[in-house]
Amino acid sequence: MSLSASLGIPREVEEELTRDPIARKILITIFKMGTVKPRIGLETGIRYPPFEDLPNWRSVIEKLIKLKLVDRSVADRLVHCPRCGSIHVSSRLLCPWCKSFNIEPTYIIQHTLCGYIDTESKFRDPNTGQLICPKCKRPLRKEGLDYVVIGKVFECLNCKRKSNKPMIVFYCRNCSHQFDYLNTVYEPVYEYSLTPLGQKVVTSGALHKQDIIEALEELGLQVEAPGKEKGRSGIDHTFDILARTPQGRVLAIDFAEEKDPSLAITSRVPKALDTGVDRYIIILPSNAFEASMLVQMKNVIVLDLTEPYLVERIKAIAKELLKKETKEVEVTAEAPPELSEEQFFGEIGAFEEKEPALSENEMLLLAEEEEEKKEGEEGERKKEKKEGEKKELLADEFFGG
């Protein structure tokens, strides 16, 4: 059964995901991170590190947006140089008369006693740094008492003119191009997340099912997706993937969409208990390690949907099951056939009948050889006894006995 039929996923989505592994990796990456945000640097530009190892990811993600699997929203807007496209752009304030950027902000001050008005730089004594009225030469000690600040302006240090509205332009640090706001390229920067349909595609296992099925079939297993297995209770339990070995062992796989890992485990383990499958793999969207601590059955394995080598892990589990099956077949083949009591004693009788009988001459020769062997052993014992007595006699004579 196709994914579109079993999960309610549009046919065009199924076809696109089947033939494009980059699209599957992008969906898994966004699902794992929740939202993929841009990393912005003036010199490095706009980067998406999770996608950088995926070729042509920008065009692929545009397709996923059209398929309504990925949603994008504006995370920021940046000024780009219209000449080179760089975002390494800084702002400049120019004198509206001479177009110089050599301007500085200053305050307009009025001396309350004599009424003199000028910029702060004219009141500031270059030697002491104190504010002194250029007209009456009195010091200005406290704002609001001796003087008031009327406003703020920009003073050009080149032409000495003042303005409260300087020109604002941009300067590209990459190509040295200067441009105004009317000629700038002001573009959005996006962040990416999954749509509800994209979430369903990932958590349902649609991105991995075909790869898992093909991997199990390559090992020689008979695969059904979905598959049914009858339990001891007589109930037919449905699994997302059911694979059978040549000797009839069963590997069952389920994808859990529940956000609560404990609920996902407790609602599925009874199926393994009732059916007695040899291996039962539960694939969770997240927190697989924590959920595995809840499982007390050796044949139940919990895996994480986002782990990078999910298909390889499942393939290794299937190989282990096949290897165990092969060993049992070899042990059965090497064991000798069991014999009945009649066959056992019949074999002994046949063996005894096969023993050859000795002739009379051969029996006499064997008796003579046995007699000579006994006489030889008796002579050796007598000789040893005489030598022992001789040694004792010599010892007595030596000690004066």
β-partners of residue 242 are 224, 252
- pLDDT of 398: 40
CA distance 46 to 40: 5
- pLDDT of 309: 86
Contacts of residue 166, Cβ cutoff 8 Å, sequence gap at least 6: 93, 94, 95, 96, 103, 154
**Under 8 Å between Cβ of 50 and 29:** yes
> May I ask the CATH architecture of the domain 208-332?
3-Layer(aba) Sandwich (3.40)
Can you read off the two tokens belonging to residue 78? 């940046």
| Residue recorded with tokens 């200067």 | 178
276's torsion region: left (phi>0), alpha (psi -120 to 50) or beta? Answer: left
Q: What is the chain's pLDDT, residue by residue, as a tens digit (401 residues)? A: 444 555 567 777 877 787 888 999 999 999 999 999 999 998 889 999 999 999 999 999 999 999 999 999 999 999 999 999 999 999 999 999 999 999 999 999 999 999 999 988 889 888 888 999 999 999 998 988 889 999 999 999 999 899 989 999 999 999 999 999 999 999 999 999 999 999 988 888 888 888 899 999 999 999 998 899 999 999 999 999 999 998 889 999 999 888 788 888 888 889 989 998 999 999 988 777 777 777 777 889 999 888 888 899 999 999 998 887 776 555 555 545 555 555 544 554 544 444 455 555 555 556 666 666 666 666 666 666 666 565 454 444 444 44
Residues belonging to the chain: 401
- pLDDT of 7: 56
Phi/psi for 28 (5° steps) reads -65, -40
- pLDDT of 153: 93
CA distance 110 to 53: 63
373 vs 349, 366, 376, 380, CA distance in Å?
Answer: 34, 11, 5, 11
Entry pTM: 0.66
Whether residue 49 has a cis bond before it, omega within 30° of 0? no
**One-letter amino acid for residue 274 of the chain:** D
- pLDDT of 43: 86
Pairing of strands 178-180, 167-172: antiparallel
Q: For the stretch 368-395, what's the b/e string if a residue is b when 16 or more beta carbons lie within 10 angstroms of its beta carbon?
A: eeeeeeeeeeeeeeeeeeeeeeeeeeee
- pLDDT of 385: 65
In the chain, where the domains are located: 3-80+184-195, 96-165, 208-332
CB-based burial label for 194 (10 Å; 0-12, 13-18, 19+):
buried
CB-based burial label for 111 (10 Å; 0-12, 13-18, 19+):
buried
Class of CATH domain 3-80+184-195:
mainly alpha
Can you read off the two tokens belonging to residue 344? 């056992």
The sign of the dihedral angle between the CA atoms of 296, 301, 306, 308 is: positive
